[in-house]
Structure 1
Amino acid sequence: MAALLDVDQLKTFVAIVDTGSFTRAADVVYKTQSAVSMQMKRLEERVGRPIFARDGRGARLTEDGERLLDYARRIVHISREAISAFADDALTGRVRLGLPDDYAERYLPEILARFSRSNPRVEVTVLCEPSDHLINLIARDEVDLAIITHATRKPVGEVIRQEPLLWVTSQRSLVHEEPVVPLALSHPACVWRESAVAKLEEVERPHRILYSSRSFAAVGAAVLAGLAVSVVPESALRTGMRVLGTAEGYPPLPSCKIALLRNPGAVDETVQALADHIVASLDNMSTEFAAAEAAE
């Protein structure tokens, strides 16, 4: 039978990769540098392949090391979750989370999966409402945390994710070429709707609101049926949608910014734990994208 991988060795391996050196990793895992080196030697023996390149460039991984890294992160993460699940001081209680239905469809599965594995005794109550409603619910102490669309005109919450906002139509339709563009958009207070209309007005392109709904599923159905043009964040693209750009006469849109809004009266550990999982799941604000935004 093949020997099992040692979790402590994998934890050290991940620390080396994350810190960029054996020396800094030793501080993170509270070991001497020689102990760290010995662990990596034994890990390589157990794997049967070299995982660090021997070219004087420090902690550069080999191709096999890169393959091992993904397994190592998952094994270490699952080990920590297992310990948390059986800890006597495991979190308990209930958290009330609010978010729009389209965010629930895209982000909620990963958020809940991550959170429930680490905190199996916590009950999460989910409420799907538009962002403007959620802001009011937070103010009325009816929700502990809310994932909302960040509006420049009335900025609230901590921006935790941003991505391109895109014009879309059906791949099977030429509705985007009509003299008066039919639009399927959310409710009048929606930030994305305001941006879409403002951009078309800037380029003096005739348009009309053909479908209006607070339901993202309904708006997406109108697009996929070839009835209208809409705007969606990059992560919301569906099979059958075609992205439109300047070549088709559709001007660039501002980025979609997603924020986490916290109830100032809900400050217990359970709420904070869910907030941390939300940020970890959605935080993709790369420096390259931020720089591009600043240059616009």
Structure 2
Amino acid sequence: MAAPLDLDQLNTFIAIADTGSFTRAAEEVHRTQSAVSMQMRRLEERIGKPLFEKDGRTNRLTEEGERLLLYARQLLRLNRETLAAFDDASLEGHIRIGMPDDYAERFLPEIMARFSRSNPRVELSVLCEPTPNLVHHVRNGNLDIALLTDDDVSEVVRREPLLWVGSTNHSTHEREILPMAFGRPTCSWRRAACEALSEINREYRVLFTSFSATVITAAVLSGVAVSVLPECALRPGMRVLGEHEGFPPLPDCRIGILRGRTSQTEVAEALARHITESLDNITVPLATEEAEGFDFATLSHRMRRGKRLRPSQVLPGW
């Protein structure tokens, strides 16, 4: 029977991947650089593959290293969750988190599952509102933490391309005056889309305005409007529109964490860590025909290396 992987080695491996340096990783794990190097030699021997390659002065992960990193993070997370489940001194309290409903639909199940397993004695209150409202709530002490579209004061934890989307079954994007469905005027995605359309002199008319992701999704899927959404908000029946159809590139969507002042500091930090880990663990589904034959690790690896949906790629379901 093969010997199990050493969690301490995996922890050091993750530190090197995150810092890009054996020296900085050694400081993080409180070991000497020679001890860290020895750990990685043993880990490479155990895996039977090279995990690092030199890139100037930094150590870059090989393809095998990228694959191992995904599993290493999962193993360390599971280890923490297991210990927490048997810890009589585990965290207790009440924490308030907010996020827009389009993020909640995609990210909240993973966040809640991981956090509740590790912290079964913590009550979680969730508020779903647009980013400007969430910023206001955090600053006024009504929320302890929020996951929101980055407003330049938050800690960015995920980046996704912002995409033009229409319906698979309709040609709404070909209309002379483009019908659009947007969030409220304060929405950064709306501003980016309007600026892009103005720059190419494309006529458009805003038909639907709502901060509800359900409303925007319904407008797109019914074929009455085009909208802009991050990859995480794509749904079956949506079509990604690209430059060859007359739609210019849009800036990336930056998703961040905004922390408030709270007496539940330990709980808030634990939740922030689970949010970051959960978003790192979530991949955007590729089209069915492209995803066939790939396991979770391969799909995650491809997304981490910048794999994006091609324009006009149809998402029939996942």
Normalising by structure 2, report the TM-score. 0.70
Q: Is the 8 A contact 1:150 1:156 kept in 2?
A: yes
Query: 1:200-255 CA deviation, whole Å, 9 max, x = no partner?
Result: 11211111111222111111111111111100002222222111122111121122
Contact 1:168 1:229 in 2 (8 A): yes
| Alpha-carbon distance between aligned partners in 2 of 1:117 and 1:149, rounded to the nearest angstrom | 27
Counterpart amino acid of 1:238?
Answer: R
Structure 1 residue runs of 4 or more that deviate by more than 4 Å after TM superposition: 1-47, 49-52, 61-73, 283-289
1:131-168 Cα distance to aligned partner (Å, 9 max, x none)? 111111112211101112124xxx33222222211111
1:1-296 equivalences under 5 Å are 74-151=74-151, 155-266=152-263, 268-282=265-279
Residue 66 of structure 1 and its aligned partner are, at CA, apart by 8.9
Describe the shift of the 1:12–1:132 C-alpha distance in structure 2 as closer, same or farther (beyond 3 A). closer
CA shift, 1:78, in A, is 1.9
Number of matched residues? 281
Structure 1 vs Structure 2: percent identity of aligned residues? 56
- Cα distance between partner residues in 2 of 1:128 and 1:283: 21
The aligned residue for residue 286 of structure 2 is none
Name stretches of at least 5 consecutive residues in structure 2 with no aligned partner.
52-60, 282-302, 308-318
Partner of 1:293: none
Q: Which moved more, 1:258-267 or 1:117-126?
A: 258-267
CA distance in 2, matches of 1:255, 1:65: 27
Q: State whether residues 159 and 260 of structure 1, in contact with CA within 8 Å, keep that contact through their aligned partners in structure 2.
A: yes
2:176 maps to amino acid: P
1:114 to 1:175, Cα distance in 2 relative to 1, 3 A: same
* Inter-partner Cα distance in structure 1 for 2:128 and 2:5: 43
Alpha-carbon distance change, 205 to 98 in structure 1, aligned in 2, over 3 angstroms: same
The 3 A distance-change label for structure 1 pair 107 and 30 is same
Q: TM-score, normalised by structure 1?
A: 0.74
Contact 2:93 2:264 in 1 (8 A): no
Alignment root-mean-square deviation, CA: 4.0
Indicate if the aligned counterparts of 1:50 and 1:62 stay in contact, CA closer than 8 A: no
Which of structures 1 and 2 has the bigger CA Rg? 1
Shift of 1:67: 8.0
Q: Report the Cα offset of residue 271 of structure 1.
A: 1.0
Superposition deviation, residue 4 in structure 1: 7.3
* Alpha-carbon distance in structure 2 between the residues aligned to 1:234 and 1:211: 21
Residue type matched to 1:192 in 2?
A: W
